[in-house]
Structure 1
Amino acid sequence: MSDAFKKATFAGGCFWCMVKPFDEEDGIEEIISGYTGGEKPNPTYQEVCSETTGHREAVQITYDPEKVDYEDLVELFWKQIDPTDPGGQFHDRGHSYTTAIYFHDEDQKKIAERSKRILNESGKFHKPVATEILPAKPFYKAENYHQDYHRKNPSHYAMYRKGSGREDYIKGTWG
């Protein structure tokens, strides 16, 4: 992988639902579903779901900044979540499903903070944006069956996205 590539890390609830939107963007080299933000090294899915590790489900994106701007990735992230929900995302509840932008450098931090401020001031939401902006921590790849779930299980993925409420929320909020 080229040194020119950069990383972006987003926690947006269920990581299955966070892969496909980024997968459709030019300049994305790789998207990994995994866990970050906690203290336990190499947690399993069961451990993260038990809410004992401090981790969130997240995606780590390797991208080419010559082809896609970090600002565009942050904007796409906002349009995949309910940024005002501090307790999880849609029917997935608990800390492991809460939202966060994990920055890898000071530029990403400034971009994420500015974007959050603009979203808060936009009047689009009746509650404040609850998404945290945090320094990147070690990222642990999730089990293989979680990787590229939208491709491996397209009908289940579509049913999950619809049944969780995410699909209708995104359409209703962002069009």
Structure 2
Amino acid sequence: MEKATFAGGCFWCMVSPFEEQPGIHGIISGYMGGTIADPTYEQVKTGTTGHQEVVQITFDPAVFPYEKLLELYWPQIDPTDDEGQYIDRGSQYRAAIFYHNEEQHRLALRSKEALERSGRFDKPIVTEIKPAVEFFPAEEYHQDYHRKNPAAYKEERMTSGRDAFGARYWK
């Protein structure tokens, strides 16, 4: 098993695209980066800790290779937005790929370069690719939020602009 860690704005919206895939053995919402150990949601949401909301995925690369995770990741985000994602603004919502080994680093760079060359966007791709650091799981009420609060989750996705952006750029 390997780990993959992605920041893509609100972590609630980053779980469902990955969870039903073969070879995915777990997804945990949490925080990565930052300056304090074991941050709380209340601390992270201020944007002052340096953490980003992330999902950490445990996967079997023999069944679902890292390249496929990257193919699923890019359509979940606006890779041209360096100030957050959709209605979620602030450094805690910036998109990033946190790599866990040199192979992931190489593949992430290659996928970003391919997206840049594709001409899909008329602005630069600003999503960072950086080494994974200590991961802190989010509080339990954030885990599987889309299942625990389906109406609120659906409303969040609809009003955030995430789905409209995806339909426009990732048909």
TM band (smaller chain): over 0.9
CA distance in 2, matches of 1:58, 1:91: 17
For residue 39 of structure 1, report the CA deviation from its aligned partner.
1.9
For residue 124 of structure 1, report the CA deviation from its aligned partner.
0.3
For residue 51 of structure 1, report the CA deviation from its aligned partner.
1.3
For residue 171 of structure 1, report the CA deviation from its aligned partner.
1.4
For residue 38 of structure 1, report the CA deviation from its aligned partner.
1.0
For residue 36 of structure 1, report the CA deviation from its aligned partner.
0.1
Q: TM-score, normalised by structure 2?
A: 0.99
User: Unmatched 5+ residue regions in structure 1?
Assistant: none
Counterpart of 1:96 in 2: which secondary structure?
helix
RMSD, matched Cα:
0.6
User: Unmatched 5+ residue regions in structure 2?
Assistant: none
**Counterpart in the other structure of 2:114:** 118
Aligned with 1:60 (options 56, 59, 65): 56
CA distance in 2, matches of 1:66, 1:107: 14
Counterpart of 1:117 in 2: which secondary structure?
helix
Percentage of identical aligned residues: 57
CA distance in 2, matches of 1:95, 1:152: 27
Counterpart of 1:125 in 2: which secondary structure?
coil
Q: Does 1:109 align with 2:105?
A: yes
CA distance in 1, matches of 2:37, 2:55: 17
For residue 52 of structure 1, report the CA deviation from its aligned partner.
1.5
Q: Does 1:159 align with 2:159?
A: no
**Counterpart in the other structure of 1:26:** 22
> How many residues matched?
171
Moved over 2 A (4+): none
**Counterpart in the other structure of 2:88:** 92
**Counterpart in the other structure of 1:169:** 165
For residue 75 of structure 1, report the CA deviation from its aligned partner.
1.1
CA distance in 2, matches of 1:41, 1:53: 10
CA distance in 2, matches of 1:52, 1:6: 30
